[in-house]
Structure 1
């Protein structure tokens, strides 16, 4: 039998799910939904204006990205920032962007270069205005040029899964003056791309993404304090 064509309700459901995902993701990144906050279906339905099904699908995607944690049959909460998970995600995302630039550079033309240049100007303006959310969007626009031109679905799939986990750290970077270093780094990447130097452009891209690393040394729960008692046994006291 012939494969049926997608129906309008299916398309609408996909759009609702994606919209719910992006709104929830952005609320977590900006801190509107704080770590540990419980996400109740009825409250989310009222806020997002969609039914439970697309919300549940969006939450499943957010859990896969490490932004929420679900206890089946009990509750869904905003996940705390896990330094180890963010570290692992940074390594993967950095490698994927490096690969994308290496693959894309030979195929980039003036239109691509202009898009990268425009995005970097928008990034500079957002940083000057102290607008980290617009800065993240501009940074995405810059890097997405090479990702799109690489036309590698595996790269796109990996980035879709792991990039959301870095959003909160990226926001820290673009809220600080050190985020302005990215503008100069982007200019360097663009110059190498226009020269057709794929290898050095890829290395410069990896360097740019590695600027997140200093922000990955985030506070963790302190270890209990230990000392020896009078008989030499180790005694543990909870840290206050």
Structure 2
């Protein structure tokens, strides 16, 4: 049958996504600390919703590794040294490695300029101790090869698992070790400009594996 001319948005779907997004951000920004127990009733009261969207959100957060659910017992925020975070780091590193390898032959001068400008903003943020700005600049930097490679499946995987690493990234960018990322970014730009896809892919893989889920190294 033809698609109806009018429709009513699914408030349930919008509510579910909003609850998921707010809980995810609360975990990432440290509102809920690693190891903290999450009770769906308390969360529902805090968010002003029923328990159903909260439970659905906790299931999704469990699939990505941000929470650990123990059936019949409790749901807890995953610790920074947990296995799910190690696994997410490995997946994210592999996806960025693939994105760089596929995008290097197609990177333009404008693309390289965007990466350089993003790294300049990243350096300024790290020096100033502005973690939020550092995260935004780092996303912009690595987002260029991801966009250029045009692999939608790769982007979807990164969208799911990158948030799992946010706590480790916060620790790194707030420490002296954040300066190491500046140098790695510069080397990545240099190799990309030379058309060295394998070398650039190796650098970006090492960059993400430098994230220690234990101490942000």
Does TM, normalized by the shorter one, top 0.5?
Answer: yes
Aligned residue in 1 for 2:94? 95
Aligned residue in 2 for 1:160? 159
- Could you say if the C-alpha distance between residues 21 and 190 of structure 1 is closer, same or farther in structure 2, counting changes exceeding 3 Å? farther
Residue 103 (structure 1) shift: 0.8
The TM-score with structure 2 as length reference comes to 0.82
Distance in 1 between the 2:190 and 2:40 partners?
48
Residue 34 (structure 1) shift: 1.4
Check conservation: 2:188, 2:204, Cα contact below 8 A. yes
- Could you say if the C-alpha distance between residues 184 and 5 of structure 1 is closer, same or farther in structure 2, counting changes exceeding 3 Å? farther
Aligned residue in 2 for 1:135? 134
Check conservation: 1:127, 1:180, Cα contact below 8 A. yes
Residue 184 (structure 1) shift: 1.7
Would you say 1:183 and 2:182 are equivalent positions? yes
Residue 90 (structure 1) shift: 1.9
Would you say 1:84 and 2:83 are equivalent positions? yes
What are the ranges of 5 or more consecutive residues in structure 1 without an aligned counterpart? 219-240
- Could you say if the C-alpha distance between residues 72 and 3 of structure 1 is closer, same or farther in structure 2, counting changes exceeding 3 Å? farther
Matches within 5 A, 1:14-93: 16-48=15-47, 52=51, 54-71=53-70, 75-93=74-92
Distance in 2 between the 1:4 and 1:76 partners?
42
Check conservation: 1:182, 1:208, Cα contact below 8 A. yes
Aligned residue in 1 for 2:171? 172
Distance in 2 between the 1:6 and 1:143 partners?
40
Aligned residue in 1 for 2:9? 9
* DSSP-derived class of the 1:177 partner: coil
> Which region of structure 1 is more displaced relative to structure 2, 104-113 or 16-25?
16-25
Aligned residue in 1 for 2:143? 144
Residue 109 (structure 1) shift: 2.1
Residue 174 (structure 1) shift: 0.9
Aligned residue in 1 for 2:200? 201
Check conservation: 2:80, 2:214, Cα contact below 8 A. no
- Could you say if the C-alpha distance between residues 49 and 2 of structure 1 is closer, same or farther in structure 2, counting changes exceeding 3 Å? same
Matches within 5 A, 1:119-130: 119-130=118-129
Distance in 1 between the 2:142 and 2:46 partners?
32
Q: CA RMSD in A?
A: 2.8
Check conservation: 1:147, 1:156, Cα contact below 8 A. yes
The TM-score with structure 1 as length reference comes to 0.75
What are the ranges of 5 or more consecutive residues in structure 2 without an aligned counterpart? none
Check conservation: 1:64, 1:161, Cα contact below 8 A. no
* DSSP-derived class of the 2:69 partner: strand
Residue 102 (structure 1) shift: 0.8
